[in-house]
Structure 1
Amino acid sequence: MTSHALIRPAWTPATIALMVGGFMLYWPLGLAVLAYIIWGDRLEAFRTDVNRSTDRFFCGMRRAGWGRGRAAPFTMDRTGNVAFDDWREAELRRLDEERRRLDESRAEFEAYARELRRAKDQEEFDRFMANRRKPDNNGPIVEG
């Protein structure tokens, strides 16, 4: 996934300038920009995990009848039409199962994409190490 935004979690001239300016204005601001540069790529996954957890929590609360009064928490969603209520409950279960499958597929894809990035990084590092070990025309390899 390539990002072309001006302010992104990477060592770009804009983020470096923001970091330096932040340290000059107020040191916690510069520290925050530094943290964003270093760990900003993890924010999207963190936000997704938090959203998914809160959605599950509030969905469970809604199903239990919270937030609608306490008179009859288990019968509030009933319409009086048994056939419709049964159909609706079956559809909600089906949708929950579909959401679970979609979440699993998304998690599998995210793991696959992370593995691809790791493999690309490993390939670039191996190429760097191979180029570094090549002898130059001026003399023998000096390591250390």
Structure 2
Amino acid sequence: MSSHALIRPAWTPATIGLMVVGFMIYWPLGLAMIAYILWGDRLETFRHDVNRSTDRFFGGLKRSGAGMPFATPRTGNVAFDDWRETELARLDAERRRLMEASAEFEAYARELRRAKDQEEFDRFMASRRSNAAGPSNTTIDG
């Protein structure tokens, strides 16, 4: 069944479910779903865009193998499966190491920005103090 049959401007179980979920998450989403159910057939381009988006989304889930999100299918070759699990574990450790390095760099860059901002602020305050001290000695004739 394609998304054209699931999400259409009619009182189908899918649209009613989306409406209820919309109200649970944020009430304007539920109202938007009711508006789509009632007047969606008048919005031909909107309907085509929604259908194309949902087709793309569900197609991406199918291609990514979202049916088994936490397990990889076994091939039947024990040696290959063991090697693959070892490589995936190694890649996962490498990914974690890279994420830690990224977090360290972000903290370093944040500290550099803070130090630069502090230096600019100190320079501003020093120039403000020197400007404030200079004009107060002069009098304005009027």
TM tier relative to shorter chain:
0.3 to 0.5
TM-score, scaled to structure 2 = 0.45
TM-score, scaled to structure 1 = 0.45
Greater percentage in helix:
2
Q: Which has the higher relative contact order, 1 or 2, with Cα contacts under 8 A spaced 6 or more apart?
A: 2
